[in-house]
Amino acid sequence: MCGRYSFAQLSSEVEKRFKIHVDGNTYVARYNNAPGQKLGVITNEKPQNLSLFHWGLLPPWAQDSRMAFKMINARGESLQEKPAFKEAYSSKRCLVPADGFYEWKKYGQQKFSHYIRLKSREMFAFAGLWEEWKDTEGKIKNTFTIITTASNELMKPLHPRMPVILPPQLEKEWLENSNTKDLQKMIQAFESSKMESFEVSSKVNSVKNDDSDLIKPYNSNKQISLFNEED
């Protein structure tokens, strides 16, 4: 799964990498993106801009906005069957720009934070879906979710699922191609040899913390018997 990620880049660099326009007055570089926050996405509807949507998808028929916190991720294998994602999969896809993400591994009774990024430290994009939801007063709220798949070899020790990272050459196709057979081929784990993972401080657990210290390697000096380790 993916419950936190970072995207702490200068707006000018984001524009250069994705060939889009970024509103410098509204875009905020963050090291600790969390569910519910308004974050940058590139939609198939406005592929030339970085739009700000709330993380946690709300399908049009949702009765309660709190449902969004259960919809931050969408399993890639069942997008065509799940009512919440089926329509968005066929017509409302997006890229979710990032430069790394977090995962937690449980050792004994404790969970330790890890940061995962490309070895090149370049920006990348998660495959995502978006929706437009209206509340009882007719106010529109734009939301998104990040698609996940089975983990690659790097991620398996941390979690059985990981976000779908699109190779740069497939980003445009993800937005433009509406053939679900073609899209399904893109939903796969990114090459583990091009990624790296390391332990980071537990400060990332609090959304109040949002600075570069969160992505610095951290040694917790955990002394836990392998016999007590829980997957």
Say whether pLDDT at 67 is over 60. yes
The structure's pTM equals 0.93
Write the CATH number for 195: 3.90.1680.10
Say which amino acid occupies 192.
S
The pLDDT of residue 133 is: 95
- The residues annotated with a catalytic role in the active site are 2, 103
Query: What Cα–Cα distance (Å) separates residue 73 from each residue in 1, 35, 111?
Result: 7, 10, 21
Report yes or no: 74 and 149 within 8 Å, Cβ to Cβ: no
| Residue whose structure tokens are 């065509």 | 80
Q: What is the pLDDT of residues 8-30, one digit of tens each?
A: 999 999 999 999 999 988 999 99
Encode pLDDT of 83-138 as tens digits: 999 999 999 999 999 999 999 998 888 899 999 999 999 999 999 999 999 988 88
The residues, ordered by sequence, that sit 6+ positions from 200 with a Cβ below 8 Å of its Cβ are 102, 113, 114, 115, 214, 215, 216, 217, 218
Q: How many folded domains does the chain comprise?
A: 1
Residue 58 belongs to what domain range? 5-228
Q: Which two tokens stand for residue 3?
A: 């419950």
CA distance 83 to 86: 5
